[in-house]
Structure 1
Amino acid sequence: MGSLIELKGVRKVYRVGNEKVVALQNIDLTIQKGEICCLLGTSGSGKSTLLNLLAGLEKPTRGEIIIKDIHIEKLNEQKLVLFRQKYIGFVFQSYNLLPSLTALENVGLPLAFKGIPRKIRDKKAQQMLKAVGLTSHNNRKPSQMSGGQQQRVGIARAFVGNPQIIFADEPTGNLDSKTTTDVMNLITGMARKNSQTLIIVTHDVSIASYADKVIHILDGNIEKIVTQTPSANVLAEEIQ
């Protein structure tokens, strides 16, 4: 494994009226290729801000964010869009599926943005839906699926383009405990199988147990970093 993501002296300050709110103080962080990391902290700790900066959705007030040797803090919005399309996948707490599209169409959406022909993207989307156990749900719309099924579609969408980095923002926040276990095994298993870097944001210590490295965020600072052996490591051969 080699260094894939590096943050140097990253600070983020928001202006609220005449006041300054410091969301991140002075973050130095390195994440390796193929590593599963968890940004763990309570609401307001700065973990979601850090995720947004890593994904290029916001720019730091100060500091450097280097991904694949590219300083993403220097990219304009057009180049950031292309960067995310090429390298990044997202899994959201609220699923973020388009209600008017079928599962197949939702999964194929990232490929459509890349200009991949319909026939090819439908084939890839079918393969991903099979991988997440939803072969029979190709033509169902979000309203016809449970929360767990919708999140599986969201996972398939995140992985369909084989991105090098997956960001998962509270991916199990709307799920019951059994579905949470299934979803976490699925996400981490697929990431390990494909040697993808997975960064999970959560306030839940039990979710953090799936990670190789837990980055504890408190009041805009990295309080500590704990390297661990994941308690739920799905072997690559178990994911078909």
Structure 2
Amino acid sequence: MENIIQLNNVKKIYRMGDEKIYALKNVDLSIKQGEFICLLGTSGSGKSTLLNLMAGLEKPTKGEIIIKNKSIEKMNEKQLAKFRQENIGFVFQSYNLLPMLTAIENVSLPLIFRGVSKKNRIKAAAKMLQSVGLGDRLNHKPSEMSGGQQQRVSIARAFISKPSIVFADEPTGNLDTKTTLDIMELITNFARQSNQTLIIVTHDIEISHYADKVVYIKDGEIERIEEQNQRGII
């Protein structure tokens, strides 16, 4: 199975006045198509920075990030935006739903960029919302839904266009334990069904149990990588 993501000697340095802050140091990482990877580390470890670089939301200070055989660090903003629209989905801790739009309108947004007709967008979005258990919330706005319901809308939006890769940054950070388990089941099931690559950032060891591979991040470096079967969780 070929790598869908390859990082070679990636560094990220932030400057604060005369001071340099090394958020990531010489990171090498390979991720295969269909793998579920968990980036695990404490706050400030560099895990979210690593996700942002792979998602093309930030540029590395040094190094190469290859996704689907393309070096994304060489792309300009317009090229990156198009690449993300065609290949990447996002699930955020804070949901990032547009408050003035209904659930069905939020979920259908990625399909606008794909040139899908309004009729087909609405049909597909309704089907996705049904699949995440929100068939009775199609016309509700975010303010009319619970946190768990909003995250289900966010998941439906992330997966509706069947992107090759889905990035999730602390997707259950604002949820209770039961809702967390429900959300993780949804995310993993969607990814497995379509052989999508799933990369989740978390500080929660319980969330990491869902992954094929756990990448431990500490002080901007990969401390170690563990396969689930090595950890006795299969």
What TM bracket, shorter-length normalisation?
A: over 0.9
C-alpha separation in 1, matches of 2:58 and 2:145: 32
The residue aligned with 2:72 is 72
Q: Deviations over 1:43-92 (max 9, x none)?
A: 10000000010000111111000000000000000000000000000000
* SS of 1:216 mapped into structure 2: strand
**1:59-208 mapped onto 2 (5 Å cutoff):** 59-208=59-208
Distance in 1 (CA, whole Å) between partners of 2:217 and 2:56 is: 19
Aligned with 1:136: secondary structure? coil
Please report how far the alpha carbon of residue 130 of structure 1 lies from its aligned counterpart in structure 2 after TM superposition.
1.1
What is residue 223 of structure 1 aligned with on the other side? 223
- Name the SS for the 1:140 alignment partner: coil
Counterpart CA distance in 1 for 2:181 and 2:200 is 14
Deviations 1:107-153 (A, max 9, x none): 00111133322111111101111111111111011111111000000
Partner Cα distance (2:198, 2:232) in 1: 16
User: What is the CA deviation profile of residues 26-59 of structure 1, one whole-angstrom value per residue up to 9, with x for unaligned ones?
Assistant: 0000000000000000010000000010000111
Moved more, 115-124 or 19-28: 115-124
State the distance in 2 between where 1:165 and 1:150 align.
21
Specify the alignment match of 1:28 in structure 2: 28
**Cα distance 1:188–1:201, how it changes in 2: closer, same or farther (>3 A)?**
same
> What is the CA–CA distance in structure 1 between the aligned matches of 2:112 and 2:184, rounded to whole Å?
27
**8 A contact 1:97–1:154 mirrored in 2:** yes
Query: The residue matched to 2:136 in structure 1 has which SS?
Result: helix
Between the aligned residues of both structures, percent identity stands at: 64
Structure 1 residue identity aligned to 2:127: Q
Instruction: Please give the alpha-carbon distance, in whole angstroms, between the structure 2 residues aligned to 1:231 and 1:120.
Output: 44
Paired with 2:107 and 2:233, the residues of 1 have a C-alpha distance of 26
Offset, 1:232: 8.7
**What number of residue pairs does the alignment pair up?**
233
Residues 42-53 of structure 1 mapped to structure 2, 5 A cutoff: 42-53=42-53
> 1:226: Cα distance to partner?
0.4
Question: CA 1:140–1:209 in 2, change beyond 3 Å: closer, same or farther?
Answer: same
| AA in 2 matched with 1:134 | L
Q: 2-side partners of 1:130 and 1:183: how far apart?
A: 15
**Residue number in structure 2 paired with 1:236:** none
User: TM-score, length-normalised on structure 1?
Assistant: 0.95
RMSD after superposition: 1.3
Q: Does the CA contact (< 8 Å) of 1:11 and 1:60 recur in 2?
A: yes
Amino acid in the other structure paired with 2:199:
I
Deviation at 1:2, TM superposition (A): 2.0
The code of the aligned residue for 2:27 comes to I
Distance 1:46 1:232 in 2: 25
Provide the rounded CA distance (Å) in 2 between the counterparts of 1:231 and 1:5: 26
